A and B are shown apart, each in its own frame.
Chain A
Amino acid sequence: MSFKNALCAASTIALMAGSSATAESLTIAIVNNGHMINMQTVAEAYTAETGVELNWVSLEEGVLREQVTSDTATGGGQYDIINIGMQEAPIWGAAGWIEPLEFGADYDVDDILPAMREGLSHDGTLYAAPFYGESSMVMYRKDLTDAAGVTIADNDSWDNVMAAAAAMHDPDNGVYGACLRGKPGWGDNMAFITTVVNSFGGAWFDADYRPQLDSTEWNAAINFYVELLGSYGPPGSEGNSFNEILALYNEGKCGLWIDATIAASFLEVDGVAYAQSPNAGNPVGANWLWAWAMAIPAGSPNAEAASDFIEWATSKDYVQAVGNHPDFGWGSVPTGQRASTYAIPEFQAAAAFADAEMAAIESAAPGATDLKPYVGVQFAAIPEFPEVGSAVAQEMAAALSGAKSVEDALAAAQAAAEAIMTEAGY
């Protein structure tokens, strides 16, 4: 083949651009997890009924945020529906990047758990509909606590939790007392650490949005965290987040694990018991609140079709469709979004963690309080938080690994956070 021919062939192939989205097709950006994967199968019925073709773009959480943020901020219109979390929804709603959501009476918006509705709204307007939600709780091995003669109660004290971890800790036999997040990231170690700090009475920022990492509460909380995980955690905890700990837990290597309530549906170890998150005197903020929700980018040409799909995918009927689906069943229904889900007898029978999850979500308090001026439990719903959280996360991982003292790590974290907030104009 001559070069001329080769160039012609290459150009022809290059011009084979795909067809663009039509009114009868929706492009949906989703985070890759079990519930979302199931939705792709369940939604075949939606396509059959309405004729709307669904193009799924499944992405890893970090890449999803990056793509959706750049697309939404530039009004790119690559997606008709986007998966966003609680950190983004109120900010993007206020910025006008996503459309307000209004559904029919049958949708029963009041059935959405109040904490979820509040966290996904701005000025009382819902901007994203929760597909599933989660809080955090203690998941512990009852057989090990019984054998060690210790107990873990709902809203227990951190001291008692540390004592229980110490009693179960048996590294010679491959059992570690406490498995907790240590991998740096604002959504990784900082999600858990923030709940610990909250429970010690600390907060990310004061009323003037000055970072509070140099406070006595942060100091006490991080010293406690490093001691608990450093003494009774698995080696290399600074590299562990949700998936790594899930693998350890299912191998029977963890005495207790405090993490997202959704973890309970993945646990395959016998004798798991649940308890509400511990605290050190301040129960507000001891358990986090998160939702993966669906929103419509502003200016989407298919906004009406997108709204119809979101209404279906976050409805009571969708929960029934998953529960009755031959491939899934009641143990696979998305939870944490609607009160009515927890009243379904088949779901209660299939999910031993249902009551504990519901209680955790109901007691989560994302709103601003006297202690903190911002919305959010394990994060602050301000645009600068991912940058601040990521910088602090690195310092906390350094403290956990022993590369820095807690005091040095907090001082460095405070300096980094102050620099970011100052530059942002606070």
Chain B
Amino acid sequence: MATETIARAHDADARVVRTGVVRRLFRRVEVGAFIGAVVVWVFFALVAPANWLTITGVSRILDSASTLGIMAVAVALLMIGGEFDLSAGVLTGTCGLIAGMLATQLGLSIWPAMAVSLVFALAVGYFNGWMVVNTRLPSFIVTLATFFILRGANVGVTRLVTQRVLVSNIDQVAGFMDARNLFDLEFSLLGAQFRTSTIWWIVIAFIATWVLQRTRYGNWIFAVGGDAVAARNVGVPADRVKIALFMTTSVAAWLVGMMSIVRLRSAVASEGIGQEFVYIIAVVTGGCLLTGGYGSVIGACIGALIFGMARVGIVFAGWDTDWFYSFLGIMLLVAVLVNNYTRRRAEAVGIAAARARTEEEGQ
């Protein structure tokens, strides 16, 4: 009799759990962001076709999106791992200032200055992660504290050292051009100017996607973000994973900081402030859940791309940039709604199955 019961339950499975290609597609995390990106692209293609539909237009969008994209990749991993980093934006500034000041004030070549800056970034990431893991405080609070500490130190230390809020003449430092060629070289492709930062972005996104989807660490990232206790119970080293994620974010901030100083030949104490929310916007637009455990790197990259398109599109269209933030807000809202909708459609399969079972049990 028990055998029969189970057999019948499985018939129910066979009846409802049949996933079509469309449904599978809709289950992709990125689908909402992808649709959004297409809509924004088509929109500006209609509004400002002359500049938009050129290779130069593409290169402008990529320039605008690349450093944001690099941060979005790291922040996406962190958010999938269930944590935030509000200090990521200001840390890009801190890293640039440290490298810039060491190089210009101590007369170091650019490379050791950058190396020290990297060590500092890793330390900040470790500190954030260690605090979150050991105090069990929300990362929102811990990294907010870090944010304020760095924000103050950026201005305070820079003024102490340079008497200004700016480190300039970084381009006079030994090795500057090499660093520039590595981090932010411009090159011509199909008649438009692209930057190595775009290549960095693509490579980093590829590696991060691979790690997330195809390695055990990726599985652990999903797990610690979904339910750290459950993950720990099955032997995932949750604390180590989280600390590693914070450090990854810091390294990304360092990289973006280096790109910034070689491009701008200077470092400003206000660099990066407020950007942390832009990262989060890009990542959430890309389909990551704020609560963790769900999301994709590709989605975050598409989120950054949408942001880049919006920024360039508004200029090309000749609109009042006054409205940029409103546009951003609407975009975020629409993206999140679309994500919600697609996720529910994806889950409808399972929900239907569950409902069929409940009804059967009720009989």
Q: Does B associate with A?
A: no
B residues at A contact (CB < 8 Å): none
Q: List the interface of chain A (C-beta within 8 A of B).
A: none
